[in-house]
Chain A
Amino acid sequence: MKLKIAIASIVVFAGLAVGVYFFRPHTFHGTVIQSPSPSFNFKLNSANGEVSLSDYRGKLVLIYFGYTFCPDICPATLANVGQALRELGDDKASEIQTIMISLDPERDTPEKLAEYVNHFYPSFIGITGSNEQLAEVTSLYGIFYQKSEGPTAENYLIDHTATLLVIDREGYLKLVFPFGVTVDEIADDLKYMLRQ
């Protein structure tokens, strides 16, 4: 009898451990936002015409604010996103749209942006707009940016909030990745969100 109880207890505890492991909630690497309303539906210009957030309902949308002259953080983040999508494979990646919004419309034409983002992943889209449009979209996505001086007048830099945002299939902001998020962390969270 004692043996049976001992075995039963071991089974229960082992089972609990397995159960907790498999049924544990997904721990997001990014910060989860429980937005009560959909994210601001911007309308900006790409090399192939106007792009709105609402064009991608049904897909996950990754939004990154940057500019093509950005020396390090923008290419690092976009390269990580590209790599994460490759890890997920073509099928899953086809359900994810990455959009880079340029904060530097003076130097980043839609054509130049298209060429730039294509280096990181073929389906990436680059968009930008007037300063007024950018002021609105950045404010509503919590992105602060300002020009700062570079070595020459034309080589100015733009300081900007370097978060990577994930919009869910219904158009709600769901996740905010801080700068420095790794390829595996991005892939892991996206994989989970695609299953939902």
Chain B
Amino acid sequence: MNKYLVNSIYGIFAVIVIAAFAFKIFQPIQVLPRMQLAPAFNLTDQNDGTLTSEELRGKFVLYNFTYTNCPAPCYNLNATMQEVQSRLSEVELDNIEVAFVTISFDPDRDTASVLKNYANSLGSSTLQWDFVTTANKSLLKTIIGSGFETYYEDKGNGEFTFTPSFVLVDGWGIVRAEYRYQTSVPDTDRILRHLGVLADEVRNSTGTTKLAYEAAHLFLCYAP
């Protein structure tokens, strides 16, 4: 009988270990990492009103960072934003809204009216795409540079050096994905897929499926 007991215990461990490996290898559930808290902000929008991080709670938000004088095509930043918007219907989002926010790091020239004209020139629906900045340059540096970890520098000749990036933030205000130009070309398919992964997680964030999603986080089953 003792032999059976010992074998049983080995068996149990084997099953647990195999189950864990299978979960890691086959990744039945994929998630996006919870990277850090997105910075909080209160910025001026293209209508001279305000846009706060608090108003965006509950929505998925895709951020990018630029300035309106950026010589076209400016790393295709706007084209990517536009394409993601036009293809949103491909993603099963249920009722989760997706917001798009472009933060300008050139508040001297990018006043509300300039941002408004810029938005219009892109033919963007500002119902879901906001263009924002703040005259408080040190706070702007904190938000974009430290908060969103996106480098930019005023070259002094009317041009900026910057790292073209997109940042995806979930409804809890947590950064879930970063798309940096140097490391990964911002790929619309990838951004859309990630929005779908986030929506799946929200849909399944109750009861026992929540445990499976937490296991996916624990095992780092990250969506490519």
**Interface, chain A (partner B; CB < 8 A):** 4, 7-8, 11-12, 15-16, 19-20, 23, 25, 27-28, 31-37, 40, 132, 135-136, 138-146, 161, 173, 176
Contacts and interface: CB of A to CB of B under 8 A. Distances in A.
Contacts, number: 95
Interface stretch (B6-14, B89-97, B104-112, B187-195): B6-14
A7 B4 contact: yes
Determine chain B's interface SS by DSSP, over half rule. helix
Given A20-B16, A25-B214, A139-B143, A11 B8 contact: yes
Closest 3 CB pairs of A and B: A142-B37, A144-B40, A15-B12
Contacts of A8: 4, 7-8
Contact residues on B (Cβ < 8 Å of other chain), bracket: 35 or more
A146 B35 CA distance: 26
Nearest to A35: B36
A116 to B, nearest CB: 24
Contacts of B139: 135-136, 139
Contacts of B15: 16
Interface string B48-71: 000011100000000000000000
Contact of B39 (A19, A25, A142, A145): A142
B135 interface: no
A4 B39 contact: no
B99 interface: no
B29 interface: no
A68 to B, nearest CB: 21
B72 interface: no
Given A36-B36, A144-B53, A135 B142 contact: yes
B217 interface: yes
B172 interface: yes
Contacts of B35: 33-36
Given A8-B7, A19-B16, A142-B38, 6 more contacts: A27-B214, A34-B35, A138-B40, A139-B147, A144-B41, A176-B37
